[in-house]
Amino acid sequence: MKAVIQRVKESAVTVEDREVGRIGRGLLVLLGVSRDDTPGDADYLLDKTLHLRIFEDEAGKMNRSLLDVSGALLVVSQFTLYGDCRKGRRPSFVQAAPPETAEELYEYFVDQARERGVPVATGRFRAMMDVALVNDGPVTLIIESI
């Protein structure tokens, strides 16, 4: 699995001019699932995401996690994270998981976050979405499962 994580002051996702998810302070997670991913990959990525010390403490140092600041997640499925652009001009998505598998692991990731008490908003799987955010910092990181 692969995630682009952005620390945000707020973020929202809209489908067909209707807002389907919104958070305040927290992390926007663009989540991609590859053909070889398992629930173990989702567990690893979620644990890393929730415990990354990327929020500032009183001294202004990135020393606090999402859990420390009681932040929220906005999780948006993003199969294009597995686009291979090395050859030609059109990305190849052969490494992206088939939609059924990807949706299952995406939902698993979201459910596991909620089970840990994290407020989670989501986009809509396989929909064309507009994602808005106020990036805080900006802080943007890429995390991949092992």
CA distances to 33, 41, 116, 125 from 38, rounded to whole Å, are 9, 5, 19, 18
- Given its phi and psi angles, is residue 47 left (phi above 0), alpha (psi -120 to 50 degrees) or beta? alpha
> Residue type for 97, please?
A
Tokens read off for 71 = 């932040």
Residue 1 near residue 108, CB atoms below 8 Å: no
Q: Are 21 and 122 in contact (CB under 8 A)?
A: yes
Residues belonging to the active site: 78-80
Cβ atoms of residues 79 and 93 within 8 Å: yes
